[in-house]
Amino acid sequence: MTELKNDLYLRALLRQPTERTPIWMMRQAGRYLPEYREVRKQAGDFMALCKNPELACEVTLQPLRRFGLDAAILFSDILTIPDAMGLGLYFETGEGPKFERPLRDLAAIEKLAVPDPELELGYVMDAVRTIRRELKGQVPLIGFSGSPWTLATYMVEGGSTKNFSVVKKMMFAEPQAMHLLLDKLAQSVTSYLNAQIAAGAQAVMIFDTWGGALSPRDYREFSLRYMQQIVSGLTRHADGRQVPVTLFTKNGGAWLADMAATGCDALGVDWTTDLATARSLVGDKVALQGNMDPSVLYASPERIRAEVATILASYGQGTGHVFNLGHGIHPEVNPEHAGAFIDAVHELSPAYHR
Catalytic amino acids? 27, 31, 40, 77, 154
The reply, when asked if residue 29 is annotated as ligand binding, is yes
Distance CA 308, CA 296 (A): 10
Q: What is the DSSP string of 181-204?
A: HHHHHHHHHHHHHHHHHHHT-SEE
Phi, psi of 82 (to 5 degrees): -60, -35
CA distance linking residue 326 with residue 251, whole number of Å: 10
- Residue 27 annotated in ligand binding: yes
Helices (H) and strands (E) in the chain, counts: 16, 11
From residue 336, give the alpha-carbon distance in Å to each of 36, 63, 71, 210.
15, 12, 19, 30
SS3 at position 296: helix
CA distance 81 to 84: 5
- CA separation for the pair 346, 222 (Å, rounded): 39
Residue 318 — left, alpha, or beta (φ > 0 → left; ψ -120 to 50 → alpha)? left
Give the residue ranges of the annotated binding site for substrate.
27-31, 77, 154, 209, 327
What residues form the annotated binding site?
A: 27-31, 77, 154, 209, 327
